[in-house]
Amino acid sequence: MGSRSGLPGESLALAQAGLVTILLLVALQAPAELPPKLPVEAFARLPVMSDVAISPGGRHVAAAIPDKSGNYAVVIFDLTQIGKKPPLVASTGDWDVNWLRWKSDDRLLVSGRHSQFDGYVGIVQTRLIAVNADGSKLEWLVKPRNLGLTVSARPLDADQVVDFLPDDPQHLLMGFSLGDSSGPQLYRVDIVNNRREVVEGGKPWIQWWWPDRAGRVRLARGYDGYGTFDARLKTYYRPAVDADWQEIWDETTSGKTFRPVVFDRADPDVILVRSDHDSGRQGLYRFRLSTREFIGKLFLHPEVDLAGVEMDARGRDIEGVHYVTDVGRVEWFSPAMAAIHSDLAAQLPGWAISIESRTFDDARMVVFAGASDHSGRYYLYEPASGSLRLFSNTYPELDEYDLARPTAVRYQARDGLEIPAYLTLPRGVRNPPEQPLPAVVLPHGGPEARDYAAFDPEVQLLANRGYAVLQMNFRGSAGYGTAFRQAGAQEWGDAIQDDITDGARWLIEKKIADPARICIVGGSFGGYAALMGVVREPALYRCAVSVNGLTDLPGFLEIIGRYGGDRRWYAERIGKYWNDGRKLAQNSPARRAGDIRAPILLVQADEDSVVPPTQAVKMADALQEAGRTFRYVKLKNEDHWLSHGPTRLQYFRELDAFLAEQLH
């Protein structure tokens, strides 16, 4: 990281009452020499600050922080009182912070998320909370409720903001359901007095809406037949609010992605939409509603999908797009924003720059500077003067060090498909190393997700312990176009697993990994792949670690079929439990425990809303019956994403100790 530099100046965010551990820096020095072994807590702790948002006028900054118990809280800074008055800390109880956004200079919106497992299925509730900048008038705009186990009580999203109404400081347009089967309704919500009125009744085939520039809701999207095996994802349009809805796109039948973003600034008959209709990769296009045709291409990358758009501060106009090659990148349409980004890049050379939040007049901005070998920092930036001041780091015990740097690599799967991957070696170790290293194969979750060269505390812990780490984007991963993603359909345990196995063998072929000391580790789908790895390749892996991984595919699909959810997606991606039973059983680790020879670390969160904890119980029972070596760790009061400090630390410690025992 020698080419990167910090900025002189004091940190704006001060440590207060032990709640936030933020460095007070007089000047950022050159990175310190990395010690051979950092404490596991340095990697495992939650970031001391995340989701940083500045108010429309620039006076207040809010962020999510971990409190003393390891749960998330919200901290609010008055920038006029830094150093004079401690920031306010507001608790959301046992609800995690999803996102933060200021509605006005005095009123903050907090999206909260709560996960639970009710014996058969997982339930996620989201809610929107409003609170004043001084901590007063904290209101749940929709109160939490006990949903029970019915299809109509599917995960209740009550934080969907259809229109933030930036010129109205008191109201929002929201879409949510109170649990009936008619689908979400459209509400006008008074966030000051906590009142709401129905703008439009719910329809079972609409889950999302878009307003035009005049505030009229004329675009909608949803699943026709949600929860059935025949569900279709469709988009609807109406020329006026009193007109009937007309179907304009059936994404399921066409097989082509169609994701509306915003109405065109000048033409109310045109929307901007993300689609892969003409190239097999997602791009950004203009689409005419009345004639149902694409009329222009705004962005299409030659290799990867569009990852998202950059909106202006009011959320009305697209000012740029972002995409991920091996790192995240932004292409600005706005010359003003392009100039701002260039200035930031000049002031923070070598860092990846992201503008996280900004005032309505763009006078002040929250900027995050990150890197694949550094945990990242938040800054406050004023474009007019070019002033850039450190606000907070994210991992204080890691901030002073240059860490291990991932390198993009490619290898061929056995059928010739090229697999993108990232290799991280311990800092100071060259490629190839003088002697093969103990190695960790780390497949990602999803599986329709992807890895890229970015800071990852788990990868950095592993590299700090002397392991080579390989993360691969196997077939079925997102971001590389439709064909690559669809190549993973119903290939759980088969072609996807072959891609992962071929990555492990590539490490051996390149003399990076000691063939006797390779462990496969993963979470969610990655946890499933870790277990299938030692089922199918008992001689390849020394050990396996599964965190919240599926273990019994037929059993999981039967629960989905019985209690609801996106049945069609699971049937298309994994298989049909009534039709593909033999193949699904063959690709279920819990049904093949007798084939396993390697020791297993099995970790499961007991409030996992994605993978039923009963899946881990089945695996543990099967391993016990087969007489295999394993350790089963239950993370209490934890969700699928390991969102809480104490249990996250518990997992990292278990992982560290298990790998040290198996690979050294």
What pLDDT, on a 0 to 100 scale, did the predictor assign at position 52? Answer: 97
What pLDDT, on a 0 to 100 scale, did the predictor assign at position 565? Answer: 66
Quick one: what percent of the chain has pLDDT higher than 70? 92
What distance in Å separates the CA atoms of residue 53 and residue 61, rounded to the nearest whole number? 6
Burial of 544-559, coded b for 16+ CB within 10 Å and e otherwise, reads bbbbbbbbbbbbbbeb
Mean pLDDT of 637-654: 94
Quick one: what percent of the chain has pLDDT higher than 90? 76
pLDDT, mean over the chain: 90
Contact between 492 and 411 (Cβ < 8 Å): no
Cβ-Cβ contacts under 8 Å for 291 (sequence gap 6 or more): none
User: In this model, does residue 590 exceed pLDDT 90?
Assistant: yes
User: In this model, does residue 13 exceed pLDDT 90?
Assistant: no
What pLDDT, on a 0 to 100 scale, did the predictor assign at position 586? Answer: 95
Tell me the residue type at 192: V
Tens digits of residue pLDDT in 221-241: 998 887 777 888 999 999 999
CB atoms within 10 A of CB 201: 10
What distance in Å separates the CA atoms of residue 13 and residue 272, rounded to the nearest whole number? 39
User: In this model, does residue 2 exceed pLDDT 70?
Assistant: no
Using 50, 70 and 90 to split pLDDT, how confident is the model at 148?
A: very low
User: In this model, does residue 7 exceed pLDDT 50?
Assistant: no
What distance in Å separates the CA atoms of residue 387 and residue 389, rounded to the nearest whole number? 7
**Within the chain, what is the greatest distance between any pair of CA atoms?**
72
What pLDDT, on a 0 to 100 scale, did the predictor assign at position 167? Answer: 92
What distance in Å separates the CA atoms of residue 458 and residue 218, rounded to the nearest whole number? 44
What pLDDT, on a 0 to 100 scale, did the predictor assign at position 32? Answer: 55
Tens digits of residue pLDDT in 447-500: 999 999 999 999 999 999 999 999 999 999 999 999 999 999 999 999 999 999
Contact between 110 and 124 (Cβ < 8 Å): no
pTM comes to: 0.91
| Domains identified in the chain and CATH numbers | 113-122+139-393 (2.130.10), 407-552+588-663 (3.40.50.1820)
What distance in Å separates the CA atoms of residue 92 and residue 71, rounded to the nearest whole number? 9
User: In this model, does residue 155 exceed pLDDT 70?
Assistant: no
What pLDDT, on a 0 to 100 scale, did the predictor assign at position 564? Answer: 63
Contact between 3 and 350 (Cβ < 8 Å): yes
Cβ-Cβ contacts under 8 Å for 90 (sequence gap 6 or more): 73, 74, 75, 76, 110, 131, 135, 138
